[in-house]
Amino acid sequence: MTGASTHNLRVENLSIAYGTGERALHAVRDVSFSIAKGEAYGLIGESGSGKTSVAYALLKYLRGGTIRTGAIDIAGNDILAMSPSALRDFRGNRAAMVYQDPMSSLNPSIVVGEQIAEALRRHRGLDERAAWQRSVELLALVHLPAPDALAKRYPHQLSGGQQQRVVIALAIACEPDLLILDEPTTGLDVTTQAVVLDLIQELRHRVRSSILFISHNLGVVAQTCDRIGVLYAGELVEEGLCATVVSQPSHPYTAGLLRSMPRAADRAFELKPIPGSLPDLTRPPPGCIFAKRCEVAGAECTERRPGARRLSDTHVTRCFFPERVPELRDAGDKTVAPAVAAVAGPGAQPVLEMDALSLSFRQHVGLPFFGTVRETRALDDVSLSVPRGRTLAVVGESGSGKSTLARTVVGLLAAERGVVRFEGTALASQAAQRELDLRRRIQMIFQNPDGALNPQLRVGDIVARPLRLYGRAKAAEIPARVVELLEKVRLGARYASRFPHELSGGEKQRVNIARVLAADPEIIVCDEPTSALDISVQASVLNQLRELQAAAGLTYLFISHDLAVVRYISDTVAVMYLGRVVETGPTETIFHGPHHPYTESLLAALPEIDKPRRPVAAVPPLPDWGGKGCLFAPRCPRRIDGLCERVAPPLADTGDGRLMACHVPLSGLAAAQAAIPATEPA
């Protein structure tokens, strides 16, 4: 191999398969790319794209998979030809990896300092003391507080963000030529993600490693990398500079991905999902891998596999008709109803009210009969309401209490104080104590489409259950009603006889929606209904929900951690932090600003493809904060010292149609937030 001087990584014609013979799954096919020294390359793909297989293949670590063809060269080393012992010397030394789930990537019974030090002893030949010393330095390098003490802690004593920083410190310990980041921020909260991304940016300039950044999130990659490769069903379909690929995609799949990404900055942006689903990779089609789902495909697309077509020095696409892509990019989905359904005028009677709900979780720690009780406030005096036919989105990070709120509304959890009202009547706190018809009128869609379906029941029986339970159809009519419901969510009658495991993630969530519709509800509580789905599938589920709302006047309580999704789907928003509502009002007002400081930090942290992310404001920590006052005060960049940490701000009317809990007046927030670049493009 040549070019070892300019490139740290070269992958040529890599093909990976799982299993053998007829049933072999050809997960990755003919993938070639290279990364220059000091360059960050983003590899983006949805589930089933093979991106993780590529990452592990680079370290020759494929459990159950085999590299069929191809060559991998890292800084002049032919990886595939290495002996096991040479490979051991190489891994963690010249090439290292940061994993998706930091908690499970660290050994729970070894202190974190030792987990780094052992790599240094192994590869750098340092003695015990020097290795420990160096690992403390590395922990300091990734900005972990009090690294001396932290090195002696066990992983479970650190937060998720801290754990990931430890893993990063471990990965850069030996200053590798290639640093592989496999979904390093997936599963982290958006503000934590921002901190980790900032750290990666900073380290890029310090360590002269090449970076391979693997992600499903275009926004994250666009902000971190120089170049981007788009992987679809095991093939690299497009590659180019980040800015080029995002603004001028030249493969229909890339364009489709961009069309299905909701944007927090732009509400008018209509999502357009990619039709169809992944091809069967045990028998990849002979033509273009994307042809079946492509809206601009021609006859030759299904016959012949398009070769890599070079559009410029850096921009390559595997498409016969890149010139047709722009029309695809600009076409909005006109079939979707407008977001704001004109159902209820202002001042309409709310159909759902949450009145001063409070709930704490008491977790028993230790042995039965002994141990202590740990109490967490999940809901603290939460009052919200939703008018008929509208969508209230509740947004917040993990621990904000948003899911608890959803569960309290449907009666899965009982509030300790406060009451949920439906059309003005108070509901019993437990679902079991509510009248059958009231239960029917409030339904819930769950986060995990897979877990919400009983694997032992057929789709038809699952959808039929509410019809039977609530007596919505005579026995003889049930099969016909089931088919009707399945068609309503764009699944055919043939799905009725299938089991859940035979369906894709998107199809499962459609079955969940069909089951909810079978009850003929008035309110649907959606608890993160799309967070387990791929972007392109998420778009179709969101559009489906909007269509149903427009058609049947449904009321949604929509729980989400994703501000972009919230902006797309909601009429009003409530932002929650540690069990309290910090801000609530019309979606446009909330997104336009001025923002509550917490909302501000959420928006600032949000990685979007077309705006630079603002660095997260570092706040000096409060020395002795007793947990009184504003809960956000310790992290707040707009904190008024001496006030915020002592007095909790009430949720007060700001005069522009919303309620906000902040001591800083709206004008003060506006001034402070105007000082930094605006979130929205003019």
Partner 1 sequence: MVTFVVRRLAFMMLILVSVSFLTFLIVNVLPGDVANTILGDFATPDQVEALRQRLGLNQPVLYRYVEWAAGMVHGDFGISLKTNQPIGPTLWGRLKNSLILASLGLAVAIPIGIGLGVVAAVYKGSFLDRAITTTVVIIFALPEYVIGLALILIFSIRWNLLPASSLVLPGQSVFSNPLTLVLPIAVVALGMLAYFCQVTRASMIATLNSGYVRTAVLKGLHKRSVVVKHALRNAMIPTLAEIGLSFGYSLGGLVVIETVFSYPGIGQFLVQAIQNRDIPALQAAVIVVAAAYSIGNLIADVGSLALNPKLRV
Partner 2 sequence: MSGQQPQTTAKPAVSPWERLSQVAILLFPALLFFLIAFGPLVTPYSPTNFDPPNALRAPGEAYLLGTDEFGRDVFSRIVAGAQPTLLPALISTFIGILLGTITGLAAAYYRGRRDEIIMRVMDVLLSFPALILSMLIIVTLGANMVTLVLAIGFVFWPRSARLIRSAAIELAQHEFIDAARARGESAFHIMFREILPNMWGIIIVDFTLRFASAVLLVASLSYLGIGVSPPTPAWGLLVKEGQPLLQMAPWVVIFPCVVIAIVSVGSVMFGEVIRRRLTLPDRRILS
Rule CB under 8 A: which of 170-199 touch partner 1? 170
Q: Which of 39, 507, 522, 534 binds partner 2 (CB under 8 A)?
A: 534
State the nearest-atom distance from the C-beta of 193 to partner 1, in Å.
19
Whether 172 contacts 96, CB under 8 Å: yes
Please choose which of partner 2, partner 1, none residue 92 contacts, taking the beta carbon within 5 to 8 angstroms, the exact cut-off set by kind.
partner 1
Is residue 581 near partner 2 by the rule CB under 8 A? no
- Which of 342, 367, 475, 682 lies at the binding interface for partner 1 (CB under 8 A)? 367
Q: Report the candidate in 76, 70, 53 with the shortest Cα–Cα distance to residue 7.
A: 76
The residues that bridge with 69 in the sheet, in sequence order, are 15
30, 39, 73, 183: residue in contact with partner 2 (rule CB under 8 A): 183
Q: Is the Cβ of residue 123 or residue 611 nearer to partner 1 in the bound state?
A: 123
Stretches 109-117, 282-290, 500-508, 557-565: which one binds partner 1 (CB under 8 A)? 109-117
> Quick check: 411 binds partner 2 (CB under 8 A)?
yes
Instruction: Choose among 631, 538, 191, 595: nearest CA to 396.
Output: 191
Q: Is residue 635 classed as helix, strand or coil in its secondary structure?
A: helix
| Residue 88 binding: pick among partner 2, partner 1, none (C-beta 5-8 Å cut-off by kind) | partner 1
Angle at 531 between CA 527 and CA 534, to 5 degrees: 145
Return the structure tokens found at 508: 């499962």
Decide: residue 14, CB within 10 A, 0-12 exposed, 13-18 middle, 19+ buried: buried
Cα(441)–Cα(421) distance, integer angstroms: 12
Stretch of residues binding partner 1 (CB under 8 A), selected from 15-23, 103-111, 283-291, 438-446? 103-111
CB of 634 to partner 1, least distance (A): 23
Q: Is 613 in the site for partner 2 (CB under 8 A)?
A: no
Q: Is 268 in the site for partner 1 (CB under 8 A)?
A: no
Residues 489-518 that bind partner 2 (CB under 8 A): 512, 515
Verify binding: residue 232, partner 2, rule CB under 8 A. Answer: no
Encoding tokens for residue 647?
Answer: 């007095």
The DSSP-derived string for 36-100 is ETT-EEEEE--TTS-HHHHHHHHTT--SSEEEEEEEEEETTEEGGG--HHHHHHHBTTTEEEE-S
Residue 89's binding partner out of partner 2, partner 1, none, with CB under 5 to 8 Å set by partner kind: partner 1
Burial 538-569 (b: 16+ CB within 10 A, else e): bbbbbbbbbbbbbeeebbbbbbbbbbbbbbbb
Burial (CB count <10 Å: 0-12, 13-18, 19+), residue 85: exposed
The partner in contact with residue 110, picked from partner 1, partner 2, none with C-beta cut-offs of 5 to 8 angstroms by kind, is partner 1
Minimum distance of partner 1 from residue 367's CB (angstroms): 6
From partner 1, partner 2, none, interface partner of 93 (C-beta below 5 to 8 A by class): partner 1
Q: Interface with partner 2 includes 436 (CB under 8 A)? A: yes
| Pairwise CA distance, residues 577 & 590, whole Å | 15
For residue 329, which phi and psi values (nearest 5 degrees)?
A: -65, -40
Residue with tokens 């890029």: 204
Contacts 24+ apart (CB under 8 A), 638-645: 638/597, 638/600, 638/662, 638/664, 638/668, 638/669, 638/672, 639/597, 640/664
* Cβ 76 vs Cβ 4: under 8 Å: yes
For position 366 contacting partner 1 by CB under 8 A, the verdict is yes
What does 466 interact with, of partner 1, partner 2, none (CB < 5 to 8 A by kind)?
A: partner 2
Q: Which does 597 bind (CB under 5 to 8 A by kind): partner 1, partner 2, none?
A: none
Output the six-digit token pair for 357: 């709900």
Task: Give how far Cα 66 sits from Cα of 25, 63, 81, 101, 268, Å.
Answer: 10, 8, 14, 24, 46
Number of residues that bind partner 2 (CB under 8 A): 58
CA nearest neighbour of 139 among 165, 100, 118: 165
**Is residue 89 a contact point for partner 1 (CB under 8 A)?**
yes
Among partner 2, partner 1, none, residue 451 binds (CB under 5-8 Å by kind): partner 2
Residue 368 contacts partner 2 per CB under 8 A: yes
User: Is 380 a binder of partner 2 (CB under 8 A)?
Assistant: no
Written as six digits, the tokens of 176 are: 């590798």
Helix (H) or strand (E) holding 281: none
Q: Which of residues 308 and 428 has its CB atom nearest to partner 2 in the complex?
A: 428
Backbone phi, psi, residue 243, to 5°: -60, -40
The answer to whether residue 134 forms part of the interface with partner 1 (CB under 8 A) is no
52 contacts partner 2 (rule: CB under 8 A):
yes
Give the residue, chosen from 12, 118, 175, 450, that forms a contact with partner 1 under the rule CB under 8 A.
Answer: 118
Tell how far CA 356 is from the center of its chain: 30
Nearer to partner 2, 282 or 358 (CB): 282
x/- track of binding to partner 2 for residues 278-307 (CB under 8 A): ----x-------------------------
| Among partner 1, partner 2, none, residue 65 binds (CB under 5-8 Å by kind) | partner 2
d(CA 119, CA 141): 17
105 binds partner 1 (CB under 8 A): yes
Q: How far apart are CA 427 and CA 422, in angstroms?
A: 7
Shortest CB 102 distance to partner 1, Å: 9
Position among 3, 286, 326, 371 found at the interface with partner 1 (CB under 8 A): 371
Q: Please, what is the minimum distance in Å from the beta carbon of residue 139 to partner 2? A: 26
In angstroms, give the least distance from the CB of 188 to partner 1.
16
Residues lying near partner 2 in the complex (CB under 8 A) are found at: 18-21, 23-25, 27, 45-53, 56, 62-65, 100, 182-183, 186, 216, 282, 368, 407, 410-412, 431-432, 434, 436, 439, 443-444, 446-448, 451-457, 465-466, 469, 512, 515, 519, 532, 534
Residues lying near partner 1 in the complex (CB under 8 A) are found at: 59, 61, 87-93, 96-97, 99, 101, 104-110, 115, 118-119, 122-123, 154, 156, 167, 170, 366-371
